[in-house]
């Protein structure tokens, strides 16, 4: 098996982090696992480790949440299955991934819906976010924490050509997460979507199994995709965020005071992580350009028009329901 430097270093860092457990953590009353797919050196992962340490301290050593980054326990779809079964107790589930279980969670990831972060947080910290959180609680054996973490706006890289309008995507093979809304979005745009786990993307790009991929800027950078791609097009086609979700049975085992501490700490760290990502993204475009990517902006209207023609918005409105869709359009204006 070939292990490149990128995967070795990420795995080594994660192993050191996982092995560093204080004596109070070893004797914790509740020892829970949180698995995720983001590399250990990403701000998201670092804030999760901070949250775990703070929860351990504030619960006087009673709750130890061990964080496993970089897909150590499996990819996003695997981890969603594990948190539902209780094999892991916590998982930061992107709304688009959770949509395979509960379609309404895809509401934040509708194509070209949110024009900026002000609208994102107004919606997700407001009525729309409350509605989705309630739906998760009522309809699944999962418990979401109060605030979403930021995954970011998604951009497209590829090795074939710059993407200026929707027609430039026709015929490309792009890696897309196994999330129904993203798969259907790219199908509507004339792309051949190929699903695979995050850790497999670099090799697939390097060997030309796919022409390109789409991810937030921070994931493009930490994944080092600039080493095997020529173009990055700033499409901002979807914003998505993470719900920190707990297995319902595992959550109920925690005393109420520990639940309150965990929820509060995760929510406070969410706000800090959002600011981390804003700061990071401000510098990443120039950094990625300096690392060899040709970067261009795009014409949003052509993408929206093509999605509307393909029935993307009408289809997802049916799946998500008028109640959630009306809440979404309160913040975004009419879609489709």
Question: By CB neighbour count within 10 A (0-12 exposed, 13-18 middle, 19+ buried), where does 160 fall?
Answer: middle
Q: What is the rounded distance in angstroms from the CA atom of residue 205 to the CA atom of residue 263?
A: 38
Q: What is the rounded distance in angstroms from the CA atom of residue 297 to the CA atom of residue 241?
A: 23
Which stretch of 17-31, 74-88, 197-211, 251-265 has the lowest confidence by average pLDDT?
A: 17-31
The mean pLDDT value for 199-214 works out to 96
Q: What is the rounded distance in angstroms from the CA atom of residue 137 to the CA atom of residue 319?
A: 18
Segment 5-39, tens digit of pLDDT: 444 344 444 444 444 444 456 678 999 999 998 88
Domain 153-238+287-332, classified CATH 3.40.190.170, yes or no: yes
Q: Which residue ranges does the chain devote to CATH 3.40.190.170?
A: 5-102+111-152+240-285, 153-238+287-332
Structure confidence at residue 198 (pLDDT): 85
Q: Is the pLDDT of residue 94 over 50?
A: yes
Structure confidence at residue 1 (pLDDT): 36
Segment 99-110, tens digit of pLDDT: 999 999 999 989
DSSP 113: -
Q: Domain 5-102+111-152+240-285 adopts which CATH fold?
A: D-Maltodextrin-Binding Protein; domain 2 (3.40.190)
- Name beta bridge partners: 175: 194, 213
Segment 126-156, tens digit of pLDDT: 999 999 999 999 999 999 999 999 999 999 9
CA trace torsion 291, 293, 299, 300 (10° rounding): -60
| 3-state secondary structure (DSSP) of residue 98 | helix
Segment 281-304, tens digit of pLDDT: 989 999 999 999 999 999 889 999
């Amino acid at each position: 098996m070939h292990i490149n430097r990128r995967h070795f270093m990420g795995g080594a860092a994660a192993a050191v982090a996982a092995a560093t457990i204080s004596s109070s953590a070893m004797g914790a009353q509740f020892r829970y696992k949180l698995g995720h797919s983001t590399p250990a050196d990403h701000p998201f992962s670092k804030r999760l480790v901070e949250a775990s340490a703070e929860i351990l301290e504030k619960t006087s050593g009673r709750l130890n949440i061990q964080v496993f980054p970089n897909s150590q326990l499996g990819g996003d779809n695997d981890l969603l299955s594990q948190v539902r079964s209780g094999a892991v107790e916590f998982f930061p589930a992107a709304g688009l991934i959770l949509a395979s279980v509960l379609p309404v969670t895809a509401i934040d990831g509708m194509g070209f819906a949110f024009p900026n972060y002000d609208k994102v947080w107004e919606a997700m910290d407001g009525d729309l976010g409350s509605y989705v959180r309630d739906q998760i609680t009522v309809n699944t054996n999962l418990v979401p924490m109060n605030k979403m973490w930021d995954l970011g706006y998604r951009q497209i890289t590829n090795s074939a050509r710059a993407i200026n309008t929707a027609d430039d995507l026709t015929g490309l093979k792009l890696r897309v997460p196994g999330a129904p809304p993203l798969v259907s979005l790219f199908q509507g745009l004339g792309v051949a979507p190929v699903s695979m786990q995050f850790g497999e993307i670099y090799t697939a790009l390097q060997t030309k199994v796919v022409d390109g991929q789409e991810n937030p800027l921070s994931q493009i950078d930490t994944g080092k995709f600039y080493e095997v791609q020529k173009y990055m097009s700033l499409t901002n086609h979807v914003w998505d965020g993470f719900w920190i979700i707990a297995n319902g049975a595992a959550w109920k085992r925690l005393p109420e005071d520990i639940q309150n501490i965990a929820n509060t700490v995760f929510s406070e760290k969410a706000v800090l992580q959002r600011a981390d990502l804003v700061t990071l993204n401000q510098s990443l475009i120039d950094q990625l350009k300096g690392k060899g990517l040709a970067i261009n902006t795009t014409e949003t209207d052509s993408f929206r028009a093509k999605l509307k023609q393909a029935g993307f918005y009408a289809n997802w409105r049916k799946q998500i329901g008028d109640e959630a869709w009306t809440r979404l359009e309160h913040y975004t204006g009419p879609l489709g």
